[in-house]
Amino acid sequence: MIPQLKSLDVWFITGSQDLYGAETLKKVAEHSTEIASSLSASKTIPVNVVFKPVVKSSEEVLKAMQEANNDKNCIGVICWMHTFSPAKMWINGLKILSKPLLHFHTQFNRDIPWNTIDMDFMNLNQSAHGDREFGFITARMNINRKVVVGHWQDEESLEKINSWCRAAAAWQDWQGARFVRFGDNMRYVAVTEGDKVEAEIKFGYSVNTYGIADLVAVVNQISEKEIDQLVDTYQKEYQLQAELLKGGAAHSSLRAAAKIELGIEKFLVDGNFKGFTDTFEDLNGLEQLPGIAAQRLMAKGFGFAGEGDWKTAALVRAMKVMGSGLQGGNSFMEDYTYHFQPDNRMVLGAHMLEICPSIAEGKPSCEVHPLGIGGKADPVRLVFNTTPGAALNASIVDMGNRFRLLVNEVMAVKPIQALPLLPVARVLWKPYPNMHTGCAAWILAGGAHHTCYSQNLTREHLEDFAEIAGIEFTLIGKNTELSSFKNELKWSDVYYKISH
Ligand code: MN
């Protein structure tokens, strides 16, 4: 479901020019090959890094970029100028490059060889100024890119490249992706709305509505045998509430939930969808609101958000791709209720049901309880606490003239007491820089109540992703101060009015 990152390629393209002669150019190619293979072999870099022949002219640059654009496996391009590469020769290639770009400002030699350094060495190892020429043309052409500075064997450089590779993989995953919206938006809700046409232009994914009856028809095709098998899986993977067990008073609810899960999964797989939304206001023909179904499908890698929130569903999917293989999970989330105890203020995050068990601590409990809204049969859901530690919430909002990716770094904490009567999965976190400033900044920035909550991504992944997407990135973190944050929003507003 989630693409294997090691099956994806990043191209390593080194710029030079003919001026230096065959001997030097041979060295440039050797060094570039060594760097590319070292990056590719590094445990820190999740994708393949593929060496491409050194480019020395406008024609070669253009050809390399055309090939990168057309290669389905290429998720991005890393450029490095070992020697000086006059940047006018990059213009036509950069103009058409449609893949994410990382400018790796590195140098083959880590240290200056004090005793042996001569002009030949200087002419070969001159990325310190060669990369400045490349920096100028990318700045002049206003090209979105990440600049990573550091030696290529330095773990810090590798981590920055890792972050960008993950963002590029998620970006690639969005191109042509399909998301299904069962029913429409929750009535009257504003923040979950947005311009789906603009989203498809900007992000590459499409969102289309299907009537709930289309889903019900698929759910109704599910066989009793398939339901038996999934019920067995539930039994193995979760702590089942007694009444849900075979012979229990609510066992039929468990079977109904399994049938819904199988039906949605079939609908998604058959339709080649990477995620979905539903709304409790349009469930005609479904017995229950999909609870455990949405939870388990998220854990399999599908994007999901409730109440027709397609932007968050797509973001959940992207963040699952970005976090692929990392410890911890990513889930649809909602800021639900507050704990305003002085010196221990925190947010309780949850949803009516649909939190992804990839963020669970321990074995989830599988339970059935009434749902106060929607007027359907009691839905089955997984109930759990989550692992404490550093995390973040991310939200994409449609500001009318642009999309804004808003991120708040948080620290998840253990519940200070048991929550015996709360029948949903939940997280407790303390927003940075503190509850008052963090929440005020979120509100000022128009951040949604729906987010993707991540245990394994950092602000850097999301900043890289926003850079690739060409959208606004707004961070609320340890250093956020409200007065300057308000100014940042105002300046940003002006920037996007001028540039879009
Ligand atoms: Mn909600």
Nearest to 412 by CA among 480, 339, 349: 349
Mean pLDDT of the chain: 96
Ion ligand 1: residues, Cβ under 5 Å:
306-307, 334
Average pLDDT over residues 283-301: 96
C-alpha 77 – ligand 1 centre gap (Å): 38
Condensed to tens digits (0 to 9), the pLDDT of residues 115-148 reads 999 999 998 999 999 999 999 999 999 999 999 9
- pTM assigned to the model: 0.97
Phi, psi of 88 (to 5 degrees): -65, -25
Helix 435-444 crosses helix 482-499 at what angle (to 10 degrees)?
20
Identify the pLDDT of residue 1.
Answer: 84
Sign for the CA dihedral angle at 107, 110, 111, 117 comes to negative
Q: Are 102 and 161 in contact (CB under 8 A)?
A: yes
Pinpoint the alpha helices (H) of 175-243: 196-203, 212-219, 224-237
User: What are 6-15's pLDDT values in tens digits?
Assistant: 999 999 999 9
Whether 418 contacts 410, CB under 8 Å:
no
Q: What is the secondary structure of 479-492 as a DSSP string? A: T--HHHHHHHHHHH
pLDDT over 90, % of the chain: 96
Q: What is the pLDDT of residues 351-406, one digit of tens each?
A: 999 999 999 999 999 999 998 777 789 999 999 999 999 999 999 999 999 999 99
Sorted by sequence, the CB contacts under 8 Å of residue 280 that are 6+ apart come out as 186, 289, 306, 307, 352, 371, 373, 374, 376
- pLDDT tens-digit map of 409-442: 999 999 989 999 999 999 999 999 999 999 999 9
pLDDT at position 49, please?
98
151 CA → ligand 1 middle, Å: 45
Distance from the alpha carbon of residue 311 to the mean position of ligand 1, in angstroms = 13
* Centroid of ligand 1 to alpha carbon of 354 (angstroms): 9
Close Cβ partners of 38 (under 8 Å, ≥ 6 residues apart): 152, 153
Ligand 1 centroid distance, CA of 186 (Å): 9
Mean pLDDT calculated for residue range 204-223 = 97
Per-residue confidence (pLDDT) for residue 375, from 0 to 100: 79
DSSP code, position 41:
H
CA 335 to ligand 1 centroid distance, Å:
9
Q: How far is the CA of 291 from the centre of ligand 1 (A)?
A: 13
Check the CA dihedral 409-413-417-423 and report its sign: positive
| pLDDT band at 500; cut points 50, 70, 90 | low
Q: Per-residue pLDDT for 159 more than 80?
A: yes
